[in-house]
Amino acid sequence: MLGSIIPSSSFLVKRLLKRVDWQRAHVVVEYGPGVGTITKELLHRMPAESTLVVLETNQDFVDFLEQSLPDARLRVIKGSAETIQAELARLGLPAADYVLAGIPFSTMPAESRESILMRSLEALSPQGSMLIYQFSSRVLPDLRRVFSKVECDFELLNVLPARLYCCQP
């Protein structure tokens, strides 16, 4: 499942990442990195001692990311966002400081959406944030039910214009 066939604009990436406190971004998770548009920017900004875990279900994207982004901080995993806790444990990592997601929540089955959001909440540190960008607001009621704090934003300069959500435990 793809959230968009067009990579995220630099405007969207900047607006999404402005929420990140880079001094405390030790464990960052990205769901559905695709060709790595946001992944590259995360690696550019993250501290040297941090780890970026990306979960991608498409083997072609996994292969592309492994070949095009040789970075010791990057862990590319072929798998579902529903397994985030198990993957962090397998890698010996603590709770995530940030989880970023552009996966299409509005088009996935409700059970999968609920599972991913709950597993993400459980995988976040108490001060962590889940940063989500979507092309529909349909996921907002689910976000408000799962997270105690949800802030909304919008980026017009993207194809399609995107809604951004900063969710905290």
pLDDT digit of tens for each residue in the chain (169 aa)? 444 457 889 999 999 999 999 999 999 999 999 999 999 999 999 999 999 999 999 999 999 999 999 999 999 999 999 999 999 999 999 999 999 999 999 999 999 999 999 999 999 999 999 999 999 999 999 999 999 999 999 999 998 999 999 999 9
Query: Rounded to an integer, what distance in angstroms lies between the CA atom of residue 139 and that of residue 26?
Result: 27
pLDDT of residue 25: 98
Alpha helices, DSSP H, located in 50-135: 59-68, 84-90, 110-123
Task: Write down the pTM of the prediction.
Answer: 0.95
Tell me which CATH homologous superfamily contains domain 10-168. Vaccinia Virus protein VP39 (3.40.50.150)
Q: Provide CB contacts within 8 A for 46, sequence distance 6+.
A: 22, 25, 28, 52, 73
Identity at 132, one-letter amino acid code: I
Segments of the chain assigned E as strands: 27-31, 51-56, 74-78, 96-101, 124-134, 149-155, 162-168
Query: Rounded to an integer, what distance in angstroms lies between the CA atom of residue 25 and that of residue 20?
Result: 7
Domain boundaries, the chain: 10-168
CA angle 108, 114, 116 (to 5 degrees): 80
